[in-house]
């Protein structure tokens, strides 16, 4: 591999110690919007996600924070854009899991070039660490030159993927995408311990809240994705897909979760037993009374 070109792909980090993080709040209130209003809102938000993801991946935008509930397509949308950029020669690294501050410094160093983007997906532990947050604030800053420092002897034995020692300071020209379940606006409003860090990161980034706060928001989003043909790849006809969506909407208050993962579970049950899948779903996918 040529010097100066980082390796692409996924980095699965191990959660080696328990991390106490600020937990997001999720209040599924009753919707005050019509279905049509929700459809328009979510369509606009996910179009914005595509535009902002591409711009950040290309370095036009330095940092993007995507906030929304799990299992409703935010990671998939970003990943599809990143695949397109990789085909165009951009370097994309995905980080999933726990990341120590020194490891974060190394990751930023390896993605320091202007054609690189780091995508943090379900790596929310970094938000609860002061050192990590200070590194990220520097990496996402709006200044002309973004220079990061690690002024500790712990850097002396750290090497990059090519076996070269990592310097104790470097210029970062890459970009960063955060995909999170955290509602930063809510955490800031509640005055959490790390509220100042969150405010600083939001100030340096484009912050996109996907605005899914009610059960009907979830159901409408599920309908949108299924309508795009999500279950055709599972071998189900459109009529079967419609039946599953109707079941989700009818039982939104009973299902263990409202997500695209639940739709996949229901589709699997339908393929197992087309006559009795709803009974099976009530036994395996409903909350206990």
Residues 157 and 205 in one domain: yes
The whole-number pLDDT of residue 157 equals 77
Residues 193 and 251 in one domain: no
- The DSSP output letter for 72 is S
Domain that holds residue 153: 9-209
Distance CA 49, CA 73 (A): 11
The whole-number pLDDT of residue 193 equals 84
Residues 158 and 271 in one domain: no
Among 211, 183, 177, residue whose Cα is nearest residue 94: 177
- Which of 148, 177, 209 is the last residue in one of the domains? 209
Q: What is the SS3 assignment for 158? A: coil
The whole-number pLDDT of residue 19 equals 41
- Interval 150-155 mean pLDDT: 85
- Interval 245-261 mean pLDDT: 96
- Residues with Cβ < 8 Å from 25, sequence gap 6 or more? 183, 186, 190
| pLDDT tens digits, 159-173 | 777 778 899 999 999
Residues 201 and 238 in one domain: no
The whole-number pLDDT of residue 163 equals 77
Residues 128 and 262 in one domain: no
Residue 265, φ and ψ in degrees, nearest 5? -60, -45
Calculate helix-pair angle for 260-272, 277-284, nearest 10 degrees: 130
pTM > 0.95: no
Residues 13 and 106 in one domain: yes
The total number of residues shown for the chain amounts to 289
Of 79-88, 142-151, 167-176, 185-194, the one with minimum mean pLDDT is: 185-194
Residues 89 and 61 in one domain: yes
CATH number of domain containing 178: 3.40.50.300
């Amino acid at each position: 591999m040529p010097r100066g070109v980082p390796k692409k792909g996924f980095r699965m980090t191990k959660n080696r110690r328990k991390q106490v993080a600020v937990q997001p709040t999720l209040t599924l209130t009753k919707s005050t919007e019509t279905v049509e209003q929700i459809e328009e809102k979510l369509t606009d938000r996910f179009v914005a996600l595509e535009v902002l993801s591409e711009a950040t991946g290309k370095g036009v935008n330095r940092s993007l924070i995507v906030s929304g509930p799990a299992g409703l397509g935010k990671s998939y949308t970003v990943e599809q854009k990143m695949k397109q950029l990789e085909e165009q020669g951009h370097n994309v690294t995905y980080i999933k899991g726990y990341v120590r501050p020194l490891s974060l410094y190394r990751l930023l160093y390896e993605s320091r070039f202007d054609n690189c983007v780091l995508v943090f997906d379900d790596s929310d532990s970094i938000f609860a660490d002061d050192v990590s947050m200070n590194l990220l604030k520097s990496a996402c800053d709006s200044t002309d030159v973004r220079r990061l420092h690690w002024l500790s002897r712990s850097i002396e034995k750290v090497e990059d993927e090519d076996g070269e020692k990592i310097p104790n300071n470097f210029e970062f020209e890459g970009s960063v995408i955060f995909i999170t379940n955290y509602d930063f606006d809510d955490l800031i409003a509640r005055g959490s311990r790390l509220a100042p860090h969150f405010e600083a990161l939001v100030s340096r980034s484009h912050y996109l809240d996907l605005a899914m706060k009610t059960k009907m928001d979830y159901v409408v989003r599920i309908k949108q994705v299924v309508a795009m043909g999500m279950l055709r790849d599972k071998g189900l006809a459109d009529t079967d897909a419609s039946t599953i969506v109707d079941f989700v909407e009818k039982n939104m208050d009973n299902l263990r979760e409202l997500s695209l993962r639940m739709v996949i579970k229901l589709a699997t049950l339908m393929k197992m037993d087309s006559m009795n899948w709803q009974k099976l779903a009530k036994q395996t996918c409903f909350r206990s009374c």
